[in-house]
Amino acid sequence: MIHNLSNIEKNQTNLQTEVCIVGAGAAGISLALAFEKLGMDTVLLEGGGLEYPSPEQLELYDAKVGEKPYPVASSRLRYFGGSTNHWGGWSRALDDFDFNHKPYFSESGWPISRETIHQYYPKAAEICEIPNFAKCHNGYYQKHLTKGVIDWQENIFTNKFFVFSPPTRFGSRYLEDIRSSQHISTYLNATATELVFNGKKIEGLVAKSLNGKQLKIEAKHTILAMGGLENARFMLNNQSDEFTHGVGNHADWLGRCFMDHPGFQPINLLLPEGLNYKRHLFEEQPVMPVLSMTTFV
């Protein structure tokens, strides 16, 4: 069932649930539907509605993330489905290099490996409606998509491949699944404003609409699925006697190390014309080969 917090009659409503998910984007909707299959009562909160937000609503997403200008507000969308509403569908698996420590970055490296998340790619591809995603990271395209791409014998450059989701708009694709669910209560225009603490334990949260209606949720499990920027901002804003610098910020790294898509031109290549380094169909799958260097400093 889908509710609009702005339209509820009471100024304050209390709910009890097993799981509360904040954010109805790709992560939040996927998790809610997974809990639905498990028969777990779930409250799903979305700060926006079902339609594109007004400029005033979108302004709530604005922020400064560093010295380099970045269009924070316009890059994300505050309504059901989140940023999948303007996602281009580009998809590929992360490389080992993405997880590794780089000696020229003192805080680089991930505490998990590529193999750790590898097992979850098939399910993610299913949700994003990419039927042949496995071919993108098991070497299939390197072996079989050879027409119109260069065989780099010198091993300086290599070909990597993107595949594409339709793209899947989670807000429309999964709306009826959410609406007809038996265990999911979705609240639109419900902005999470504060966590409810019991010592170091989080027992739920408070959400409010822009017209002042309030929803207090008591949950066994609270999941923040608002994306990297809003998760960090929300956790930093929630302080208590136990969390004086924000929830999860014991190392003072929460919200740091924001990264945009790198944009610079390191080299010019003179290549033959008519190459196929563009999006095209290969075996009925949209594919795009791209050039990449094989070695990194």
Distance between CA atoms of residues 20 and 9, nearest Å:
22
**43-88, pLDDT tens digit by residue?**
999 999 999 988 888 888 887 777 777 888 778 899 999 999 999 9
Give residue 3's pLDDT. Answer: 96
Tell me how far apart the alpha carbons of residues 211 and 190 are, in angstroms, rounded to a whole number: 10
Task: Give the gyration radius of the chain's Cα atoms.
Answer: 22
131 vs 29, which has greater pLDDT? 29
CB 33 within 8 A of CB 62: no
Q: Percent of the chain scored above 70 by pLDDT?
A: 99
Q: What does DSSP assign to residue 134? A: H
Q: What angle do CA 236, 242, 243 make, to 5 degrees?
A: 10
pTM for this predicted structure? 0.91
106-to-101, 102, 103, 252, 257 alpha-carbon distances in Å: 8, 8, 7, 16, 12
SS3 36: helix
At residue 32, the pLDDT reads 98
pLDDT for position 261: 74
CATH class for the domain made up of 1-89+165-260: alpha beta
- Predicted local distance difference test score (pLDDT) of residue 295: 66
Q: Where are the domains of the chain?
A: 1-89+165-260
Does the pLDDT of residue 297 top 60, yes or no?
A: no
The sheet carrying 157-164 orders its strands as: 90-91, 157-164, 285-293, 280-282
Task: Give start and end residues of each alpha helix (H) in 39-106.
Answer: 55-58, 72-75, 96-99
- β-bridge partners, 141: none
**pLDDT for 234-288, tens place per residue?**
999 998 888 888 898 888 989 888 777 777 777 888 888 889 999 999 988 899 9
Per residue in 188-219, pLDDT tens? 999 999 999 988 899 999 999 999 999 999 99
